[in-house]
Structure 1
Amino acid sequence: MNQNRIIKHPVLGDLENKKTITFTYDQKVLQGFEGDTIASALLANGIRLLRVHEQSGAPRGIYCNIGHCFECRMTVNEMSGVRACLTELKENMIIESGKIQPLPFAKTTSADDLPRTYEEFTKKCNSHKEEGTHV
């Protein structure tokens, strides 16, 4: 698993004592570390392709890795549109790539409806989760 990781870092410290977490990615069992995001665990396992573009079919991977671009949307535990760069890896997660993901904010009718902060975005996502719809 650790071929693509920096195990000993002069500033961040060592990863030797991190708990190993098992997860499934496209029906393949992989391992990551406690505290990984889905994106970092996939990169550590040599996986760079996360999905394909909704219209062109072009490959998509991690782009900004800070939650701004929506390129890393995947299906996690049967919920689509989950951003891999912001979502912490959990034991036994089932992660799927390649599925066409819903466009972010597809139901937004005006720019005034778009969230301006991450806090606004999470509130909007949580309200859609409760309603069973997608953002």
Structure 2
Amino acid sequence: MFHRLPVPDGETVSFTIDGTPAEARVGDTVAAALLVNGVPHCRTTPVSGSPRGPYCMMGVCFDCLVTIDGVGNRQACQERVAPGMRVATQMGSRELDR
């Protein structure tokens, strides 16, 4: 569904999504990197378990919350991917106890 625009010689960075190796371009946000790596949602809601994915891509809606390097409830659209970064999707109320 999401496709990257062609950019010649885009430098890449390696990171993981839920323990699976992934790559992104230098400067990509975590939200953009999730989408281009085929991850359709970042979290599920605590009450109903409904999937939520990046929506506004500018830090207003909070639908893109993920765990980054062990720290929960980080806005994926506001964080740039870094080498070796560990990104984990959040499932329901699991992250509320942090």
TM-score interval for Structure 1 and Structure 2 normalised by the shorter chain: 0.7 to 0.9
- Say whether the 8 Å CA contact 1:20–1:33 is kept in structure 2: yes
For residues 40-59 of structure 1, the aligned pairs below 5 Å read: 40-59=32-51
Distance 2:26 2:71 in 1: 21
Q: Deviation per CA, 1:27-51, whole angstroms, max 9, x where unpaired?
A: 1000000000001111111211111
Higher strand fraction (1 or 2): 2
TM-score (ref. length: structure 2)? 0.88
Q: Name the residue aligned to 1:96.
A: 88
Give the letter for the 1:101 counterpart: E
- Runs of at least 5 residues in structure 2 that lack an aligned partner in the other structure: none
* 2:5 corresponds to: 6
If the length of structure 1 is used for normalisation, what is the TM-score?
Answer: 0.65
- CA distance in 1 between partners of 2:27 and 2:73 (Å): 21
Equivalents in 1 of 2:72, 2:10: separation in Å?
A: 29
Q: Give the number of the structure whose alpha-carbon radius of gyration is greater.
A: 1
C-alpha deviations, 1:42-68, integer Å up to 9, x for none?
Answer: 111121111100111111101111100
